[in-house]
Structure 1
Amino acid sequence: MNEMGARLRQERKRLGYSQREMGLLGGVAANAQGKYESGERVPKADYLAALASEGLDVLYVLTNQRSAGTAVDTLLKQVAQVDEPDAVFKEVKHAVRHLLLRIEELSSSYVQNGKPVRTLHDRAVDRVSE
């Protein structure tokens, strides 16, 4: 099994689907689903798009990086199962505050007085030339 196939299987299990159900939702047969998960075949974009609307974390399947929405959903499910959710909520509150401050910090490097000072294109060009 390749890494992408393993992540696809993890996502299927996270969502609670059988291979047959996942294949149907993605518009493919159950044996195709099995081949995707084993690494024999690579899923196509229309399959991934169909499953994204069912909650599949496509970013995770393709890159091994969880999307923010899935990460938050997973964390909230874990919080619901914890004996002391107040402590976990404090950690979540701290993490969200940190994230918002970081977003504000990053956005201020692109906009001053309501006018763009740097575009994402400029930043990408900077990174390529480094």
Structure 2
Amino acid sequence: MTPVCRAAARLCLLHGWAPVAEAPLPDGRRADLWVLTPAGEFLVIESKSGLRDFQTDRKWPEYRAWCDRLYFAVDLDFPPEALPTDVGLIVADGPEAALVREAPHHPLAPARRKSLLARYALLAGRRLALAQDPEAALALMGALRVE
């Protein structure tokens, strides 16, 4: 996880949100942070290492299909005027971050939200179980290589 992404994840925790890093989404994309809020909203936070990273990334609009709000997380050196105004903005300063601009709300359809909630819970639960039992993670990796 990049320093900017780590700072954004810490900000999520301070807000009482549950971030999952490098989360695979249903369309095959991978969100830097896929976040569930206590209100049941899904957020995607796309971390950018610099202006060139943003300028060469054409996939970020596709994340809107999997969240209620979309954010960019950048460091202090990033020129915020380069980012679109219809996304939220999180700015990292070392290990800390601040929510500079709230993202517009684009509510998910109820059926999609239900499907995503199950996907999110399974992903987060599996990661927690493997983090609590590293030997199981090694055994699982070994079993997957055999198959």
TM-score (norm 2): 0.28
Which structure is higher in helix share? 1
Which structure is higher in strand share? 2
TM-score (norm 1): 0.30
Q: Quick one: higher RCO (CA 8 Å, sep 6+), 1 or 2? A: 2
